[in-house]
Amino acid sequence: MRPADRTDDEPRRAARAGLGVALATSAYGVSFGALAVASGLDIWQTCVLSLVMFTGGSQFAFVGVVGAGGLAAAPAAVASAALLGIRNVAYGMRMSPVIGAGFWRRLSAAQFTIDESTAVSLAQLTARGRTVGFWVTGIAIYVGWNLTTLAGALLGDVLGDPKAYGLDAAAAAAFLALLWPRLRRRQAIAVGVAAAVVATVLTPVLMPGLPVLVAAVVAIVVGWFNWLGTSDRPPQEPDDVAERVGLP
């Protein structure tokens, strides 16, 4: 296949990848809906949480703290959800040149800037592929997540423990599928292993949200000092993306 043909196929591949990730991630919404109702939220409260907050980690942190401490734990639940949601600010900064200019475009993109849409977008090789990957993944997950949240809230008692169906592992499996092809150099492996070890060790002893942030700082440090890395330059941004952010 000629390079031009591969470039033309990039948006289609990005769309397929986005839909595949959306399918896996949306299935996890059933688990959230059931757990939220079991934690004491009404069905409408559960659905509004998915519609407005729309970031799985923050939502699970919120219902987990509320379920453990009731309404008295609401401030801690909000703090935990906010800590996990901070990462979306970094995603927004990274995705800004991909999304492009325009107030309404950026405002719309803010709701869909999540882990999965960022990961699928940045995995593409062309600017068009990145744009398609972002919007297809974000919109598909938003629709699917809210539908499965409603289903889980309505059928929670019938489903029983959502973990029995493996739904708690669906999102992690989707992320692993995106991450695995990038683990080809010692630097990437070092960053992934260091962050994973730190998050695993700190999860039992810190409040929800903090282990993720500490692991992110560790990943930044490892990457900044290029431990176990080489002097190879990173892949160049697509021409139009480079122009938007002022790269040479």
pLDDT at residue 139 in the model: 94
Q: How many structural domains are present in the chain?
A: 1
pLDDT at residue 161 in the model: 58
Quote the mean pLDDT of the chain.
75
Q: How confident is the model at residue 245 (pLDDT cuts 50, 70, 90)?
A: very low
Average confidence (pLDDT) over 142-158: 87
pLDDT at residue 147 in the model: 95
Tell me if 238 is assigned to some domain.
no
Residue with the bigger pLDDT between 187 and 101: it is: 101
Contact (Cβ atoms closer than 8 angstroms) between residue 86 and residue 229 = no
Residue 94's domain comprises 3-168
pLDDT at residue 93 in the model: 85
Q: How far apart are CA 172 and CA 163, in angstroms?
A: 13
Tell me if 177 is assigned to some domain.
no
pTM: 0.64
Tell me if 138 is assigned to some domain.
yes
pLDDT at 124 over 80: yes
pLDDT at 2 over 60: no
Where do we find the tokens 């992934």? 192
Residue 185 per-residue DSSP state:
S
Tell me if 52 is assigned to some domain.
yes
- In terms of DSSP H, where are the helices of 160-185? 170-179
Residue with the bigger pLDDT between 88 and 77: it is: 88
The C-alpha angle with vertex 83 and arms to 216 and 161, in degrees rounded to 5, equals: 95
Residue 87 per-residue DSSP state:
H
Tell me if 188 is assigned to some domain.
no
Tell me if 91 is assigned to some domain.
yes
Tell me if 185 is assigned to some domain.
no
Instruction: Produce one character per residue of 57-93: b if its CB has 16 or more CB atoms within 10 Å, e if not.
Output: bbbbbbbbbbbeeeeebeebbeebbebbbebbeebee
Among the ranges 31-35, 78-82, 110-114, 228-232, which has the highest mean pLDDT value? 110-114
Tell me if 46 is assigned to some domain.
yes
